[in-house]
Amino acid sequence: MEPTERPVSPCPEYWLQATHERTSWIPHPRALTAAAGEAVTALEGEIDCMAHALAGLRARRNALLPISLLPEILENIFMFLRDVWPMQEGDSGWFSITQVCSQWRSIAIHHAPFWTRLSTGLHEVGLWELFLKRAGRVALRDFFWRRRFPAGIDRYTPLTFLEFRDAMMGDLSLVRGIHIEDAISERWFWPDEDEEDGGHIVPSLLVEFLNTLAHPVQHLTDLVLLIPRDKGPALLADGTSDPIMTSPARILSHHTPNLERLVLRGFSFAWTAGGVLPYLRSLTLLPWKGQAERDLTHTFKDVAIALRQTPLLEELVLVRQVPIPPADLQEDPIILPRLRTLRLRGKLKSYLALWRLLRVHPDAHVSIVFHSIKHRNDFAEIGSRLTSHLEETNLTYDTLSLHTVEAPEGENGPVTDGWTGWDTRTLALDLYDGARKIRPRGSAYEQDAVWAAEGPFFHPGIHLQWFFSQDFHDFHRTWQQEFDAEADPDETKDELESIYAPMPQPTPISTSSFDPFRREPPPPPPPPRDLLDRAAHPILKRLLWPGVDMSRLRKLLLRTRGERRASSLSSARWTPFPWNARLLRPLLLRAKALENIEISVAQSKKEAVWSIAQALKPVDAVTPARALKTLSLRRASFLQHNTGVSQVTSFCDTLVQRVERGCALTALKLILCRTDGNPVVERLRELVAHVECDDHTLTRYADWVTPFPVSEGDDEEQVFEDDMYGVL
């Protein structure tokens, strides 16, 4: 077609006139008549033609925009988008970019690496063949297989398994990543009502893969092999372990020379292979159900040697995979200069010894969960290593987070991690540098290890969680004797008397149990079996006081959890608030730059207000946390305690004294607190410039119709389980 002469300017009248002439033959009947249907069909045809013409004009325009000059840039952007916006049920995710415009669609369709993630979920939405076709025979592929247990198993068919197996095993030279979660059983039953036997028998994909891999896979860089976390190891008829459980060790030794990321759950790792994974950057080893350190066949020395031979490691996650070291352990440091993520969980002796040897990147995010803490001196050893780590990495932090979780009792003892009788004397330690940004890594696997301590990615700093049981009689008695006998040189008797004198002393249960300087009265018989009540101060004294610099703290987070099954406050057993004034006061005296304190307590901790008031109260010439500006209380009680203590009076007296010293609070935030209503809030507003509270706090507690509320989706039971099952 010959180019026409350029018009002077866009002319809307021209297109209106052309449209009118083009559609003038279409009649204008009244609606709901037979002729109206024919007119609608004719107009829709013309609209489609005009839309096609407009799409052509937009394509010409888009081709001239700067973003279209380098399609490679869009390809890279699309690849990043695929990682952060996954496809899932009800959301097409990154697949939506193929519907934006013709140019984006063309770039996405013709970029083969964009279509190389092949998962079982593609069968559910009918995209399996489309992805295989667009991936072609050139790009390296990633395969994601997860058989659902037990719900949803009927959503897959034997054809799903066969197509997936053939695509993955047909040409391993095209495989870059393999992610399989499946049972180890030799054969699996797939229900099918159309079959005479009611279904099909199909092998496990894990077994198929482990048994057929006979040659090196040069391009395989990402390998994830998981048995379901509710499954134990595969056993033979005689009760011995199936040899298939050790197959990954053979594979790693001979068939994956370029492996960079390895995640195993329930399989043996080739600790003694030595030097077979020189390019490994990420190693995650998780246990099968019921596995403990005593089941391990390798030694602590094997672990140390293997780690020294993987200097490129950037992420290390070990859960119950390190044996107890010998008493005469003498090992050289394990230097991993690139390690930025360290997550360890297991027995104290094993992982404290490993932590002592490790030398990691200064930016490393360190999360360690110590089980089986048996002696008072264990905390001193942890504190010593913590101090050394802070010095080695020059960790920058401005937040200290202290959490306690009270574990429920099982039939045969406390329950932690889903185990009956599991040891609940556990300390979780999380160190996150606030000066360096760490982005949480998105993952398609819920089995990835993440910690329960709130804040690793949101509140940089030092985070401690203490898990303790309600029923460790002998353990509690031993510790109580040790801790009661310990004197604090920083606290004189006169200072203790000045701090705790306002607390009315109840009638002691017995002479042996009465402590005149204990800040809370013993509850009615039987006495509480809470270990942390009397142990918190010596524990943290050994962990934090020796070498942790408190002068840089800006934020203090205190949290307690427990009593999750109580249907109301009246049925919840009263237990003491663990972060008492005796513990907090030395910390607040050292935290001269502290500006914000946030406290969230369980329903049964009824004297938190009194404790924080005594901790913040000026004594003589000393004012704790002089720079404090904001105090936030969640689920705290301002009601008069059953011993006659007026927590409101005590709290207000502290506020008045701080005002007189020129260090008044500027903001007070009350959420779900128990008060006598507006009179309490108005009294606080006279002493604090800005008081923020919700409707529950403004309502008299006696007028509440429903039990203690849980708002904002913060389900008490679910939050508790998140704490307890944070790793697996």
Per residue in 319-331, pLDDT (tens digit) is: 888 998 888 888 8
Residue 631 predicted with pLDDT over 90: yes
Q: Are strands 555-561 and 315-319 parallel, antiparallel or unpaired?
A: unpaired
Q: Is 395 in a helix, a strand, or coil? A: coil
Q: Which of the four pLDDT bands, split at 50, 70 and 90, describes residue 702?
A: low
Q: Note whether residue 277 is domain-resident.
A: no
Residue 195 predicted with pLDDT over 70: no
CA angle 649, 561, 664 (to 5 degrees): 35
Q: What is the pLDDT of residue 666?
A: 93
Of 510 and 370, more confident: 370
CA angle 607, 465, 626 (to 5 degrees): 55
Q: Which of the four pLDDT bands, split at 50, 70 and 90, describes residue 596?
A: very high
Q: What is the pLDDT of residue 56?
A: 81
Helix axes 12-23, 34-63, angle to 10 degrees: 140
Q: Is 176 in a helix, a strand, or coil? A: strand
How confident is the prediction for the chain on average, in pLDDT? 71
Q: What is the pLDDT of residue 450?
A: 31
Note whether 661 and 699 are within 8 A (CB).
no
Its sign, for the CA torsion 46, 51, 54, 55, is negative
Both tokens of 292, joined, read 């403990």
Residue keyed to tokens 């008829």: 237
Residue 355 predicted with pLDDT over 90: yes
Identify the domain containing residue 97 by its residue range. Answer: 67-110
Q: Note whether residue 104 is domain-resident.
A: yes
Q: What is the pLDDT of residue 227?
A: 80
Please tell me the pTM assigned to this model. Answer: 0.71
Q: Note whether residue 565 is domain-resident.
A: no
Q: Note whether residue 128 is domain-resident.
A: no
Q: What is the pLDDT of residue 530?
A: 41
Q: What is the pLDDT of residue 78?
A: 87
Residues 6+ apart with CB under 8 A from 238: none
Largest CA distance in the chain: 110
Of 665 and 60, more confident: 665
HEC sequence for 355-382 = HHHEECCCCCEEEEEEECCCCHHHHHHH
Its sign, for the CA torsion 453, 454, 455, 459, is negative
Residue type at 233? P
Q: Note whether residue 286 is domain-resident.
A: no
Q: What is the pLDDT of residue 40?
A: 86
Residue 233 predicted with pLDDT over 90: no
Q: Which of 217-226, 555-564, 651-660, 662-671 has the lowest mean pLDDT?
A: 555-564
Q: What is the pLDDT of residue 273?
A: 67
CA distances from 18 to 15, 39, 45, 52 (A): 5, 18, 16, 16
Residue keyed to tokens 């913040």: 616
Note whether 220 and 171 are within 8 A (CB).
no
Q: Note whether residue 473 is domain-resident.
A: no
Residue 358 predicted with pLDDT over 90: yes
Residue type at 285? L
Q: Note whether residue 33 is domain-resident.
A: no
Q: What is the pLDDT of residue 250?
A: 66
Q: What is the pLDDT of residue 338?
A: 92
Instruction: Give the residue ranges of DSSP H helices in 11-157.
Output: 12-23, 34-63, 71-84, 102-109, 121-124, 128-135
Question: Residue 177: beta bridge partners?
Answer: 142, 222
Both tokens of 709, joined, read 């509320």
Q: Which of 110-119, 485-494, 591-600, 693-702 has the lowest mean pLDDT?
A: 485-494
The conformation of residue 503, written as its DSSP 8-state character, comes to S
Note whether 103 and 63 are within 8 A (CB).
yes
Q: Which of 248-257, 371-380, 426-435, 437-446 has the lowest mean pLDDT?
A: 437-446
Which H or E element spans position 635? none
Distance CA 158, CA 633 (A): 56
Q: Note whether residue 76 is domain-resident.
A: yes
Averaged over 255-277, what is the pLDDT?
79
Residues 6+ apart with CB under 8 A from 510: none
Give the count of domains, the chain. 1
Instruction: Give the residue ranges of DSSP H helices in 258-370.
Output: 300-308, 348-357
